[in-house]
Amino acid sequence: MPVTITDVQTILTQPAGSRLIVVKILTSEPGLYGLGCATFTQRFQAVYTAIHEHLRPFLIGRDVDRIEDLWQMAMVNSYWRNGPVLNNAISGMDIALWDIKGKRAGMPIYQLLGGKCREAAAVYSHADGGTNEEIEDSVRALMAQGYRYIRTQASGYGGRASRIPKPEGAVEGSYFDPREYVRRTLNAFEHVRNTVGEDIELMHDIHERLRPIEAVGFAKDMEQFKLFFLEDPLAPEDNAWFRHIRQTCTTPIAMGELFNNPGEWLPLIQDRLIDFLRMHISQMGGITPARNVAAMGHMYGIRTAWHGPGDVSPIGHAANLHLDLWAPNFGIQEWCRFNELVYEMFPGTPEVREGYMYPNDQPGLGIDIDETLAARYPCTNEIIGWTQARTPDGGPARP
């Protein structure tokens, strides 16, 4: 008799800043369940509804072993597809089914993918500051903890403009000045390289804050600092501009956290226009599509660098880690440094020591959730402020 899905539960919790969405699939085998990440922190209620009202009735009674079949059918069951809400819902399902598969096999998921290519995954963390000296201190503090790869910003995404003369009646928003951001960032990287040296790998995230032609020039200007990669220089809508960056400089490019649709990443892989694949595992639909994209990237000499901020749940980070350990073309893994409460709420959350993330080698994902503790930290709804980006004249900008 096949093991079937008896219920699909959605757990919402907020142990830190981000609203996390966890999918729990219960089965007809007593005590057997799987956990998946469906975190879309800015629209968590929409994902909850998609799971509870649509995906749950679709899944109940289905065979847990048919991961590929269920993924394909869930993706097209709504007819309209490749959007962030439904993709996150499907990702929660997919990761939970892989968790169940590993538990039934008595193996970690990386074994089911083909086994380890490495013992641990090198990670990077984030340095920032309002002045060059603060940025340098932040970099050195991470180095002292064993990090050898550090993403370095100058006062956050797009910087924080010191003085913006807004027009009269300008609306509220998260203002930044693209030109000042470019100048301050170049100055900050010159300072860090001159003081910290060449032995540390540096990254930077534009976060789509520049117009395409500005991003092309910025990538060229950053070439002198020998970045490990420059992240999200363009918005997904501007993918055609990647060819101009490639023709202009050799700065390695990482892209993908906003991608939903294979049509967004396939041309960049096929034309070798990026160097690192940076998709958000739940945004793209889970382990199943990530495995396929990693394998394709390997054929084109492109490495992985999966999105790993605080708005990826610990379950999502565990899924990232299993892919990292398996993929021959692994590059680097982003790490957000969870607090102690998160580790208590999610037993088995991957641990980072001296710049490496290690698995615990338990079956499946190797992670669980304390639902009683999670319930003590319910999600709070809010109107997101930082995504209301505006340029000096008050015009709306991509965040």
Residues marked active site are found at 157, 207
What does the radius of gyration of the chain's CA atoms come to, in whole angstroms? 21
Beta bridge partners of 357: 121, 352
Torsion angle, CA of 224/265/116/149, rounded to 10 degrees? Answer: 20
Largest CA distance in the chain: 71
Whole-angstrom Cα distance, residue 236 to residue 184? 25
Identify which of 198, 197, 187, 255 has the alpha carbon closest to the alpha carbon of residue 221: 187
Q: What distance lies between CA 2 and its chain's CA centroid? A: 34
Helix, strand and coil in the chain, % to nearest 5: 40, 15, 40
Whole-angstrom Cα distance, residue 39 to residue 14? 11
Whole-angstrom Cα distance, residue 243 to residue 362? 43
- On the CB side of 25, how many CA atoms lie within 13 Å of its CA? 36
Whole-angstrom Cα distance, residue 317 to residue 336? 9
DSSP conformation class of 229:
E
Identify which of 33, 67, 38, 60 has the alpha carbon closest to the alpha carbon of residue 50: 38
Element (H, E) at 186: helix 178-196
Strands (E), the chain: 5-13, 20-27, 33-37, 121-127, 149-152, 174-175, 201-205, 229-231, 253-255, 276-277, 303-304, 333-334, 351-353, 356-358, 389-390
Whole-angstrom Cα distance, residue 96 to residue 372? 20
Identify which of 19, 5, 3 has the alpha carbon closest to the alpha carbon of residue 312: 19
Number of other CB atoms surrounding residue 306 within 10 Å: 30
Answer yes or no: are the C-beta atoms of 227 and 204 closer than 8 Å: yes
Strands 356-358 and 121-127: antiparallel
